[in-house]
Amino acid sequence: MSTYREEKLTEISSKFQIYGQVMHAESCKIGHINETYSATYDQGGTRVRYIHQKINQHVFKNPEGVMDNIMRVTNHLQKKLQAERAPEPTRRTLTVVPARDGKPFYRDDDGEYWRTFVYVERTQTFEAVQTPAQALEAGKAFGKFQRLLADLPGGRLVETIPGFHNTRNRYNALQQAVTEDHYNRAQSAAKEIDFARKHESIVDTLLTALADGHLPERITHNDTKFNNVMLDAETGGEICVVDLDTVMPGLVHYDFGDMVRTTTSPTLEDERDLSKVKVLLPMFEALATGYMSQAGSFLTPTEKSYIAFAGKLITFTIGLRFLTDYLNGDKYFRVHRAGHNLDRARTQFKLVDSITRHEEQMQKFVDGL
């Protein structure tokens, strides 16, 4: 790490309620949005690690609102875990280290917002689910997260990214991109555009159910990739859900749907060989079993009835975003080759097809849990 960064982190660390001397700091690959470092301190002869992060204000326009959400959520999780006598409760949710002035963040002279978490030790993360046992743990982790937050007191959480999972907005954005076609790419994506238009009928399903009062608004994570679950390094069991910036009001289906998208297919999200893209029912069944073991206690019958559909809708929504970005010149998602976002969209849409073929069977399994 550069001398500048080492000096900057030494300065930042002095602004938080951390005692001891910085021994070592290094960049940390946690997510793709915030600038993250792992720092080791000497505290009376014992080495203790912390996570320092600079919040990306281009993505999160209201960093103080983000931190207010995180403080409310993590404090509530700690109380619930202790009340349930969970083993090692301080490993099972993030712990925010306050700044010297008591705030959950420090704002530097450049206007950048920094925060610090206690490092959760003896854990590991994976970029992708490798076994049904891991899918079970992922489902359990996010189901428990939702369950413990179902009775969070106080007012509504801040929407850190408004309209994040609003499929109607995503569909309309695609239609605008097709109409404008600034990069003359619509012809090369004609099949995918046609696929999106043929599936417009599913776009408003959950939004309408919410507006009509059939589905309750919950507190949801909204970024349920498998690498946002820390697993115990020895047992492989779920320990802690991380990356809480997008925790905000939403539908439980947003979380479960993205879990289906990212855990049930054996391929990466940009797989070019579409014959490999398909929902693996053993993975889905493990995921649903883990999730329902925790969330089944608070879900309404109507919420439960949309569980399989959620996988199709959220996968379709992400496909819309990839396709829109392709048409708009690859402005949002980082690409590594020509047509990368189009490949991603094709993969999502192929998975939508696979889920559609198995949706009835998937929902029947959930109904039996």
CA distance 141 to 128: 15
Tell me what pLDDT residue 10 has: 83
Least confident among 30-39, 113-122, 242-251 = 30-39
Which CATH number do you get for residue 22? 3.30.200.20
List the domain range (segments joined by +) for residue 326. 132-367
Residues 91 and 72 in one domain: yes
Cα→Cα distances 187→84, 192, 194, 195, 335, Å = 57, 10, 11, 14, 20
212: pLDDT strictly greater than 70: yes
Q: Quick one: 69 and 154 in the same domain?
A: no
In a domain, residue 126? The reply is: no
The CA-CA-CA angle for residues 184, 198, 326, to 5°, reads 30
C-beta separation of 253 from 284 below 8 A: no
Mean pLDDT of the chain, nearest integer: 94
Please indicate, yes or no, if residue 318 is contained in any of the structural domains: yes
Mark out the alpha helices in the chain (DSSP H runs). Answer: 3-13, 63-83, 132-149, 167-180, 190-198, 205-211, 252-263, 281-295, 301-305, 307-327, 340-367
Instruction: Assess whether pLDDT exceeds 90 at residue 11.
Output: no
pLDDT at 168 over 60: yes
pLDDT at 140: 98
Same domain, residue pair 257 and 155: yes
Q: Tokens 């679950």 label which residue? A: 229
What is the DSSP secondary structure assignment for residue 85, as one 8-state letter?
T
In the chain, the percentage of residues whose pLDDT exceeds 70 is: 97
The answer to whether residue 286 sits within a structural domain is: yes
The residue out of 121, 145, 176 marking a domain boundary is: 121
**Rg of the Cα trace of the chain?**
21
Compute the distance between CA of residue 216 and CA of residue 278 in angstroms, rounded to an integer. 31
Question: What proportion of the chain, given as a percentage, has pLDDT over 90?
Answer: 85
Q: For residues 22 and 92, state if they share a domain.
A: yes
Is residue 7 situated within a structural domain? Answer: yes
Residue at a domain's end among 72, 90, 121? 121
pLDDT value at residue 162: 92
362 Cβ contact list (under 8 Å, min separation 6): 279, 281, 284, 288, 307, 308, 311, 355
Flag whether pLDDT at 6 surpasses 80: no
The band of 187, judged by pLDDT with boundaries at 50, 70 and 90, is very high
CATH code for the domain of 238 = 3.90.1200.10
Residue-wise pLDDT for 53-97, tens only, equals 999 998 899 999 999 999 999 999 999 999 999 999 999 999 999
**Domain contains 127:** no
Is the domain of 178 the same as that of 71?
Answer: no
* Stretch among 8-22, 61-75, 166-180, 194-208 having the lowest mean pLDDT: 8-22
pLDDT of residue 305: 98
Q: How many domains does the chain have?
A: 2
| Pair 225, 262: CB distance under 8 Å | yes
CA distance 121 to 92: 11
User: Do 169 and 188 belong to one domain?
Assistant: yes
Q: Which helix (H) or strand (E) holds 26?
A: strand 21-27
Query: In the predicted model, is pLDDT for residue 30 greater than 70?
Result: no
Task: Say how far apart CA 14 and CA 95 lie, in whole Å.
Answer: 18
- CA torsion through residues 274, 276, 281, 286, sign: negative
Q: In this model, does residue 28 exceed pLDDT 80?
A: no
